[in-house]
């Protein structure tokens, strides 16, 4: 009996080892990749020096740990065993913090709730306040510079999970600084932006107002970013804020019939770091497909987004090409996405890129606002300060925005719209065409008589612009 048991165990071990070897050699089948940050360990080249000092052996061992066959399912199986039998996970506290009732948070989100996050950036709250105040002044300065070119800059204050669902947070384990003055960037920035007159949209406040009334989850139980459906609602609010800020008409979102589904990435992005065999118990979430209203009178501005990973949840769901002419995403003011020309912000002329935009948005979650926009404002101010006098934005683009402003004013005035309807009936055209034709006529008249409201930089020039529109 003992011999038979040993034979079976030996056979199973041999099968496992040979299966691992074969999968490593032929890379088949291909398994679902593990989630998380991995530092690649390349196979070292053998030479006399690294063999003698032992570095070849150590580096080879690290490489094999990353590249043995069937690695993904074996690690998931081991992780599931630890989770089921001991309630533990190899994922360190540096990646995930476990709250109450199975809720998960990022550690820095928990730290910010207990107002410890600023200690990663400043020695005390006084220094942090000075840094945040200085950055708010830079944002205001950049806003005013860009406005002189007819470009709108605004800040979007993105909500973090700790403010919306503090009841599930783990208890504060670090009380070393409880007696010292504290500071939170989210509240400090809101007050500074309001006091200074910085354009900003506070989605945190909006989420707090919705928490007890919304019939959909604002944040997922095992994810760190806002829920995908909540992100769609936020995108709709963002677009309407832009329309109000620049008095233009943009394509608005139309959300399809929503449906319940198991968590779709990134609604389970923290859970995925655990690399388990089966998903954790959690509710289903609402999802919907997004299209646009097809408004033929809408314009598509160019918007540059400088921000953190919360924008991804919006970008992967929206038909961006139907809403914006371009929407490059400068991830942490470093890597560039949604731009066919560049991969990094170091590759282009910053002033030239900014002057090609209609909107620039600083899009950071509350826990990332300590990063001071990753140096963007300082670099942008310096770059724009070197723009030669007489530089201007594209004239046709600015004129088109002015046409949309006039149309918006007509639409808001009942008497004006009655006049437009009568003219449209007399001329035998649609109301939309009559609106556009009247707006073009007003703009052309203003340009010809020198009363058109060009941006400050444009007004400094003595060049005469060509008329835009019909003869």
Convert the pLDDT of each residue in 342-369 to its tens digit: 999 999 999 999 999 999 999 999 999 9
119 secondary structure, DSSP code: G
Q: Are 142 and 240 in the same domain? A: yes
Average pLDDT over residues 440-458: 76
Q: Which of 47, 68, 89 is the last residue of a domain?
A: 68
Is residue 377 domain-shared with residue 406, that is, in the same domain? no
pLDDT of residue 230: 97
Q: Is residue 317 part of a domain?
A: yes
Confirm whether 6 is domain-assigned: no
- Top pLDDT among 8 and 253 is at 253
Q: What pLDDT, on a 0 to 100 scale, did the predictor assign at position 142?
A: 97
Ranking 86-90, 138-142, 382-386, 459-463 by mean pLDDT, the lowest is 459-463
* Any domain includes 204: yes
Domain shared by 157 and 224, yes or no: yes
440 and 318 within one domain: no
Confidence band, pLDDT 50/70/90 cuts, at residue 73: confident
Assess whether 437 and 355 both reside in one domain: no
Same domain, yes or no: 380 and 400: no
The angle subtended at Cα 285 by Cα 282 and Cα 290, nearest 5°, is 155
Nearest to 378 by CA among 196, 192, 134, 157: 134
- Mean pLDDT is lowest, of 67-71, 151-155, 160-164, for 67-71
* Tens-digit pLDDT profile for residues 331-344: 999 999 999 999 99
Dig out the tokens for 354 from the structure: 């900014």
**Does 193 or 172 have the greater pLDDT score?**
193
pLDDT, position 23: 67
Q: What distance lies between CA 1 and its chain's CA centroid?
A: 62
Cα–Cα distance list, 398 to 99, 299, 357, 402 (Å): 50, 11, 11, 6
Q: Is residue 428 domain-shared with residue 333, that is, in the same domain?
A: no
Residue 18 lies in a domain: no
Q: Is residue 336 domain-shared with residue 272, that is, in the same domain?
A: yes
174/290 same-domain check: yes
Weakest-pLDDT range from 158-162, 252-256, 364-368, 392-396: 392-396
> Of 53, 68, 83, which residue sits at a domain end?
68
Strands (E), 350-461: 359-365
Q: What is the mean pLDDT of residues 393-410?
A: 77
Asked if residue 465 is part of any domain, the answer here is: no
CB-CB neighbours of 16 under 10 Å: 13
Q: For residue 111, what are the β-bridge partners? A: none
Q: Work out how many domains the chain is built from and give that number.
A: 3
Residue 389 included in any domain: no
Percent of the chain beyond pLDDT 70?
91
Confidence of residue 288 (pLDDT cuts 50, 70, 90): very high
Q: Does 153 share its domain with 265?
A: yes
> Is 63 in the same domain as 161?
no
User: Are 410 and 442 members of one domain?
Assistant: yes
Domain end marker among 18, 47, 68: 68
Residue 420 within any structural domain of the chain: yes
Per-residue pLDDT averaged across 40-48, rounded? 83
Residue 344's beta-bridge partner residues?
A: 335
Q: Is the pLDDT of residue 381 over 90?
A: yes
User: What's the CA gap between 103 and 229, in Å, rounded?
Assistant: 19
Tokens of 216: 């959909």
Parent domain of 64: 31-68
Q: Does residue 428 register a pLDDT over 60?
A: yes
pLDDT reading at 221 higher than 60: yes
449 — pLDDT class (breaks 50, 70, 90): confident
> How far is Cα 164 from Cα 207, in angstroms, rounded to an integer?
7
- In this structure, is residue 151 part of a structural domain? yes
Beta strands in 74-183 (DSSP E): 97-98, 104-105, 152-158
Predicted structure pTM score: 0.82
């Amino acid at each position: 009996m003992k011999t038979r048991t040993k034979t079976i165990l030996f056979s199973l071990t041999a099968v496992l080892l040979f299966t691992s070897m074969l999968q490593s050699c032929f890379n088949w089948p291909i398994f679902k990749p593990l989630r998380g940050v991995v530092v690649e360990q390349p196979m070292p080249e053998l030479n006399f020096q690294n063999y003698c000092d032992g570095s070849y052996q150590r580096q080879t061992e690290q490489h094999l740990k990353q590249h043995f066959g069937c690695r993904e399912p074996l690690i998931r199986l081991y992780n599931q065993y630890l989770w089921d039998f001991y309630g533990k996970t190899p994922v360190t506290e540096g990646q995930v913090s476990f709250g109450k009732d199975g809720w998960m948070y990022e550690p820095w989100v928990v730290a910010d709730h207990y107002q410890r996050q600023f200690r990663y950036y400043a020695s005390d709250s006084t220094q942090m306040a000075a840094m945040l105040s200085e950055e708010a002044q830079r944002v205001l300065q950049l806003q005013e510079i860009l406005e002189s070119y007819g470009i709108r800059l605004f800040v979007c204050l993105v909500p973090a999970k700790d403010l919306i669902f503090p009841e599930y947070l783990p208890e504060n384990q670090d009380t070393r600084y409880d007696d010292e003055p504290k500071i939170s960037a989210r509240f400090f920035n809101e007050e500074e932006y309001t006091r200074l007159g910085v354009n900003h949209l506070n989605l945190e406040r909006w989420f707090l107002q919705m928490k007890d009334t919304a019939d959909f989850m604002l944040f997922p139980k095992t994810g760190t970013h806002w829920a995908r459906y909540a992100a769609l609602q936020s995108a709709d609010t963002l677009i309407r804020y832009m329309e109000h800020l620049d008095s233009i008409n943009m394509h608005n979102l139309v959300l399809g019939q929503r449906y319940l589904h198991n968590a779709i990435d990134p609604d389970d992005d923290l859970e995925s770091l655990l690399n388990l065999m089966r998903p954790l118990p959690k509710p289903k979430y609402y999802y919907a497909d997004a299209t646009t209203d097809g408004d033929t009178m809408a314009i598509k501005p160019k918007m540059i987004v400088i921000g953190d990973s919360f924008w991804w949840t919006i970008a992967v769901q929206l038909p961006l090409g139907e809403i914006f002419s371009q929407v490059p995403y400068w991830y942490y003011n470093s890597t560039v996405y949604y731009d066919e020309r560049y991969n990094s912000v170091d590759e282009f002329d910053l002033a030239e890129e900014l002057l090609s935009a209609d909107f620039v948005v600083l899009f950071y979650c509350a826990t990332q606002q300590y990063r001071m926009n990753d140096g963007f404002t300082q670099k942008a101010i310096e770059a724009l300060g070197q723009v030669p006098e007489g530089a201007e934005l594209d004239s046709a683009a600015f004129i088109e925005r002015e046409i949309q402003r006039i149309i918006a004013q007509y639409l808001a005035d009942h008497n004006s719209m009655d006049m437009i309807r009568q003219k449209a009936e007399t001329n035998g055209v649609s109301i939309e065409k009559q609106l556009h034709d009247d707006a073009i006529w007003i703009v052309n008249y203003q340009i010809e008589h020198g009363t058109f409201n060009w941006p400050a930089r444009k007004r400094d020039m003595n060049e005469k612009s060509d008329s835009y529109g019909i003869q």
